[in-house]
Amino acid sequence: MAHGGRGRLGLALGLLLALVLALRAKPTVRKERVVRPDSELGERPPEDNQSFQYDHEAFLGKEDSKTFDQLTPDESKERLGKIVDRIDNDGDGFVSTEELKVWIKRVQKRYIYDNVAKVWKDYDRDKDDKISWEEYKQATYGYYLGNPAEFQDSSDHHTFKKMLPRDERRFKAADIDGDLTATREEFTAFLHPEEFEHMKEIVVLETLEDIDKNGDGFVDQDEYIADMFSHEDNGPEPDWVLSEREQFNDFRDLNKDGKLDQDEIRHWILPQDYDHAQAEARHLVYESDKNKDEKLTKEEILDNWNMFVGSQATNYGEDLTKNHDEL
């Protein structure tokens, strides 16, 4: 092949690989392996006690909270009232901490479903509102499978050869009914396994495979550090790396055998110690529950509307009518 043709092929392969990596949400990321469902929520910043920004983003999601910022107080309250009706799942006229937690988790996962919606048409080739394994495989690996000779001398060959069976294994784990065809919910579990309980073992296994370079089925301390830090020269390790070594010894390696097995990896990357949505729901109830019956009426929520949804109209004093038609 002429040099120019090989260059174009290399570019095409690079773009294809980039597309594969972009469309597949990896269960873990380099340097920060800890997987946190509701990751959009995160920790409450200590300086947010007065602005309520954290509460707004938790209750509405980041995008909708920006929309509410542009509404007048009356408009915010009107929309909040409609949201309260949706949160009250059992229709008893009260919003419990559990109902609020479920709502917050749903809001925080909305970005995941939005992501799936954006790529759905790229894979659902026959437009039957399902994605079969064959459809996904052809959309993602079709060129590689159809032109294997072009990959034999390419560094991409090993990457594709490794990713294909790994994707198939993950797809089958997400495919609950075993028909090798994914519904939207199953495909969401495939792309975002960290968000689904039945996919947690896949997250752990893929993490192990990523870090376990000697293939012994465990992660030793050097492999643990190498996943976070590339030692390009022979100089001393930064302080944070030394700290991570201590973390490995003191908190990661629970049975003190010098390596992490799958149970220890699960404990590390899928912590069960703190539920941000639960904490935020309790906070909102505590701050709004005037009669201290541990549940909220619509009136109690609307009385404290600024904590739930807010409006920057009073802060900014802007003429909001100029954007009113766009909302």
Q: Give percent of the chain above pLDDT 90.
A: 55
Q: Residue 272 — pLDDT band, cuts 50, 70, 90? A: confident
Per-residue model confidence (pLDDT) at position 35: 64
Per-residue model confidence (pLDDT) at position 13: 46
- Name the range with the highest mean pLDDT among 60-64, 138-142, 228-232: 138-142
Residues 192-206: tens digit of each pLDDT: 998 899 999 999 999
Per-residue model confidence (pLDDT) at position 204: 97
Q: Residue 322 — pLDDT band, cuts 50, 70, 90? A: very low
Q: Which pTM value belongs to this model?
A: 0.65
Residue 112 has pLDDT above 50, yes or no: yes
When pLDDT is averaged across residues 228-236 and rounded to a whole number, the result is 78
Per-residue model confidence (pLDDT) at position 1: 44
Q: Residue 103 — pLDDT band, cuts 50, 70, 90? A: very high
Residues 126-179: tens digit of each pLDDT: 999 999 999 999 999 998 888 888 777 667 767 888 899 999 999 999 999 999
Per-residue model confidence (pLDDT) at position 4: 42
- H/E/C letters for each residue in the chain? CCHHHHHHHHHHHHHHHHHHHHHCCCCCECCECCCCCCCCCCCCCHHHHCCCHHHHHHHHCHHHHHHHHCCCHHHHHHHHHHHHHHHCCCCCCEECHHHHHHHHHHHHHHHHHHHHHHHHHHHCCCCCCCEEHHHHHHHHHHHHHHCHHHHCCCHHHHHHHHHHHHHHHHHHHHCCCCCCEECHHHHHHHHCHHHCHHHHHHHHHHHHHHHCCCCCCCEEHHHHHHCCCCCCCCCCCCHHHHHHHHHHHHHHCCCCCCEECHHHHHHHHCCCCCCHHHHHHHHHHHHHCCCCCCCEEHHHHHHCHHHHCCCCHHHHCCCCHHHHCCC
Residues 3-20: tens digit of each pLDDT: 444 344 444 444 444 444
Per-residue model confidence (pLDDT) at position 233: 67
Per-residue model confidence (pLDDT) at position 161: 84
Q: Residue 225 — pLDDT band, cuts 50, 70, 90? A: very high
Residue 319 has pLDDT above 60, yes or no: no
Residue 30 has pLDDT above 70, yes or no: no
